[in-house]
Amino acid sequence: MMNISVPHQPMATVTMLVGDGVISEDLAGQCAALGLRVALLPDGRCDGADGCILAGASSAGLVRRGMTPPFSGFVELGDEGVLGVGLRCFETVRAGGLCLSLLTGQAYALNTMELLSEGIRHSMNLPAGKVADQIDICMGEAIGNAVIHGNLGIPNHLRATSKGFEHFRHVLHERLADPVLSRRRVEVNVMARGADFLTITVSDQGHGFDLAGKLSRDVQSDAKSGRGLGLIRKICASVLGEDEGRTLVMTFAR
Amino acid sequence: MQFRVKEDGVNVHVSLEGQLNFAANEDFQGLLTQLCTYKGKKIFFEMSGLSHIDSVGLGLLYIAREDMAEAGSDITLSHPRDNVYRMLELTEAHKTFDIQR
């Protein structure tokens, strides 16, 4: 029998630096299982790692720092540490991309799109202008959908009139206060595809929906809701749905 | 999003600042309530301070327009930044709103 030797490719090392609090035994164990080195700021360093993620309770300052080199992303630590964070987040950082994982409450409260936009322009050398604006538009739509329709499960039609809007606000408050729904994660992963393309995935942890059906629908110019996916389809070089509609994969020509 | 409302006797000027997006709900409800007190006025939404608008924010402008039309008022969108104007263009907002650059 021929013996084929496959060259050993060591797994890229990812370090997670915890920006506030302590590293519990549980968190240390979770990180070990995920192949992550974990250390506390300010003593921990990103030196020698192939990718470095900042983690902690999220604030605009910490998220912004996580989106800026030497970091390649920010992960909000929930009560259960990194349980529930998608593996795609760590894989993206290992492969040289940028990741953001926030619980729904913070994804709603922070200016998530602007924080991401700053990080992408910086880390991916994306100049200001039409393409960067279009990427912002699509990210804003996808994050809004992931929070409102995905994780909080609020349907579109509520915002069709000012009366409906009042009801929408009531439902929104109720659902943001729900400990199960508000702990669902919204995750954004960004990868350069060669010099000419950029892929951004936005994922939620809701019930999923018929993304293909929604993507193929035309929207009236004076519609008060339901425009987001149509806009994304118009702008992106390609759009795909994964995980029964919980993940939107958008590829942009740079 | 933050807003400021000023009336000069003939027109109402609403200065918008920050992001008009899916999270602007409370502020916009406050704005709608305030605008309902003006009847038969021309309302200018000054958008130069707006850094981002998404389709939800745009939907809120359509709701405001519908409510204001019932009160005999109409809305003009003024001075959007380039990125906000791109969104207005992509969604063909000019078919519904008067837009001043």
Q: Where are the domains of chain A?
A: 14-253
Look at residue B12 in the predicted model and tell me its pLDDT: 95
Q: How close is the nearest chain A Cα to the Cα of B7, in Å?
A: 23
A113 touches chain B (CB under 8 A): yes
pLDDT at residue number A221: 64
Expressed as residue numbers, the domain containing B7 is 2-100
Confidence of residue A46 (pLDDT cuts 50, 70, 90): confident
* Number of domains present in the structure of chain B: 1
Contacts of B86 in chain A (CB under 8 A): 130, 133-134, 137
Q: What is the pLDDT of residue A1?
A: 45
For chain A, positions 193-252, list CB contacts with chain B under 8 A: 221-225, 227-228, 231, 234-235
State the pLDDT confidence band at A2, using cuts at 50, 70 and 90: very low
Cα torsion for A113, A114, A118, A119, to the nearest 10°?
A: -30
Residue B14 banded pLDDT, cuts 50, 70, 90: very high
Window from A178-182, A225-229, B96-100 with minimum mean pLDDT: A225-229
In angstroms, what CA-CA distances link A230 with A137, A139, A142, A218, A226? 12, 13, 11, 7, 8
Helix or strand (DSSP H, E) at B98? strand B98-100
Residue B31: which CATH number? 3.30.750.24
**Chain B contact probe: residue of A130, A133, A148, A158 with most B CBs at under 10 A:** A133
The class of domain A14-253 in CATH terms is alpha beta
Average pLDDT over residues B69-88: 94
